[in-house]
Structure 1
Amino acid sequence: MKVAVSIPDSVFEAAEELAARRQCSRSSLYAQALECLLAEVDADDVTARLDAVYADEPSNLDPALRDAQARAVAESW
């Protein structure tokens, strides 16, 4: 799909340099950048949902589990 966007000259120039270094097309670079941003936003959404769950639920480890974990960490493997 073709899209027209306006970006600052400095961003365009930096993107051109990066595309040249990565030996990829401008379109490919912008597509990769958007994919990264979309994944990051998706991860932030998951974090926000988990934060909402733990706002109402205790996130402490059960004392027995905490003690077992401490003993396991202290052991040499």
Structure 2
Amino acid sequence: MKTAVSIPDRIFEAAEQYARRRGIPRSQVYAEALARFMAEQESDEELTEALNRVCAEVDTSLDEFGRAAARRVVLPASEW
């Protein structure tokens, strides 16, 4: 599929040089970069879903010790 996108000049030049050095078409550089980006996004979503499943099954509430630690460490470091 053909498409048109606007990208910063420095990224365009870097992709041009990369394609020339490797002897591959520029479109292949962009296609591979986008494929990697999409795979990374899907991986992040899967990780988030897995962590959410674990948190739903595990008691994540703080006991008195945890609440006291949060007051000493987390709250003073937080901006209000």
Q: What is the TM-score of this pair, normalised by structure 2?
A: 0.68
Q: Distance in 2 between matches of 1:55 and 1:18?
A: 43
**Matched residue, 2:40:** 40
The offset of 1:13, in angstroms, is 0.3
Runs of 5+ in structure 1 lacking a partner?
59-77
Report percent identity of matched pairs: 45
Give matches, 1:12-23, under 5 Å.
12-23=12-23
Moved over 6 A (4+): none
Q: Distance in 1 between matches of 2:3 and 2:45?
A: 26
Runs of 5+ in structure 2 lacking a partner?
59-80
The offset of 1:57, in angstroms, is 2.1
**Matched residue, 1:10:** 10
- More displaced 10-residue stretch of structure 1: 17-26 or 29-38: 17-26
Give matches, 1:24-63, under 5 Å.
24-58=24-58
Show CA shifts across 1:2-52 (max 9, x none): 101111100100111111122210011100001101110110110010010
Q: Distance in 2 between matches of 1:24 and 1:57?
A: 49
Amino acid at match of 1:48: T
Count residues with an aligned counterpart. 58
